[in-house]
Amino acid sequence: MTTVTATASTAPPPLLDRKPYLLTLPNTAAAPKIARNFVSSLLGIDRRHHALVEDARLCVTEVVTNAHRHTQTPLIRVSAALEGGRVTVAVTDDRPWVLPVPTVVVRGQGQDGGGDQSAYEEGRGIALVAHLAHAWGTTIYASDPVGRKAIWFTLESPGWG
């Protein structure tokens, strides 16, 4: 299990201090699909990243979906940096006080603990990111006048490092 602590920082997530690829999109229901296609296209350029495509698609979809569902930020920013067999992706929104919390999904147990045959899914996406990523975390940009946070994750190709 990965433990992540959010701290006030002006430092970028790992690797994103290098020249990342950037995508800014409106906070709409289409944002996860657009971000997923953006990251897939980047990883498809180099064979070293082919093994990361499916996990990256899933992780970026989950993080962008969280930004869309749980914030009123007008814009969602996706940054991706590639290095060797590693990719780091950050999704930035303007709601730093809403932090992700991974949870466990229990089939047949609803949010209220009843057995309503549905799965309680709050936090499921971040739990998937925590499971798939080599590392992940939250960076809060304390000095930013708007107040921004980035949820980031790093994936590594097998045998890289």
In this prediction, residue 146 carries a pLDDT of: 64
Residue 11 lies in a domain: no
Q: Is 42 helix (H, G, I), strand (E, B) or coil?
A: helix
Averaged pLDDT, 74-91: 93
Domain CATH number, residue 141: 3.30.565.10
Residue 127 lies in a domain: yes
Averaged pLDDT, 96-114: 50
Residue type, 18: R
Report CA dihedral (127, 18, 144, 123) to the nearest 10 degrees: -10
pTM: 0.77
Residue 53 lies in a domain: yes
Averaged pLDDT, 57-67: 96
Instruction: Report the candidate in 51, 98, 59 with the shortest Cα–Cα distance to residue 80.
Output: 59
In this prediction, residue 104 carries a pLDDT of: 47
pLDDT at residue 3 tops 60: no
